[in-house]
Amino acid sequence: MRIFRNVFVFLAVITATTGCSTMTTVTDSVGSFVGNFFGSFELVGSSEKPVARRHGPRRTVRTTAYSHRESDSLKYGVKTAAGTNLKYGRVRSAAADWSVYPVGTVFKIDGEPYLYEVDDYGSALVGTQTIDIYKPTMSAMRSWGVRNVDIEILRWGSYERSLTILEPRTHKASHVRQMANSIRRKI
């Protein structure tokens, strides 16, 4: 009985300190807490397998910025590669090589109040660790430039979902084939 009471108190503390409102969020927060406390572990935040492995709670990454107003992006409008609309609110869109940061990966840049979700990719990102941050205007994109920033991965995305999205597109572009092949080797 004492163990259950301690677990309940632990979850209550996590809920209170993180502002969690659902049990899924609480369990994600517990996983994040355990990962930050004990180091590297496999995050199992959904029923989809396989999941990306966690290589530490924080990392420094090279970032660039992109906009739907760039000439090579105009044909896509405000749609992401994942099929959703580009986001620029509390949660913002980001593009990356999905074999490095699978679709659905959520991260936070140190010093910023926003969360970023990987829901897009770009040919220049494939084979790199670079993350492209979405900006709604060209001036905001240019203002971002190239920055090395510290990020914290809050939730890893799914290689399986990434591959499901990529496979029908592999015949169209070599960078899509490259991501899909790299994901297949991981799963």
Per-residue model confidence as pLDDT tens digits over 141-176: 999 999 999 999 999 999 999 999 999 999 999 999
Q: What is the mean pLDDT of residues 58-84?
A: 89
> What beta strand segments (E) does the chain contain?
58-66, 91-95, 106-109, 115-120, 131-134, 147-155
Distance of CA 148 to the CA centre of its chain: 17
pTM, rounded to two decimals: 0.70
Domain definitions of the chain by residue range: 1-38, 52-186
The tokens for 157 are: 């995305």
**Residue the block writes with tokens 């396989």:** 50
**Cα(5)–Cα(181) distance, rounded to whole angstroms?**
47
| Mean pLDDT value across the chain | 79
Assigned CATH class of 52-186: mainly beta
The kind and range of the H/E element at 33 are: helix 23-38
Query: In this model, does residue 37 exceed pLDDT 70?
Result: no
DSSP assigned state of 54: P
Find, among 42, 36, 153, the residue nearest to 94 by Cα.
153
Mean pLDDT lowest for which of 36-50, 96-110, 154-168?
36-50
Query: In this model, does residue 4 exceed pLDDT 70?
Result: no
* Predicted pLDDT at 56: 52
Per-residue model confidence as pLDDT tens digits over 111-129: 999 999 999 999 999 999 9
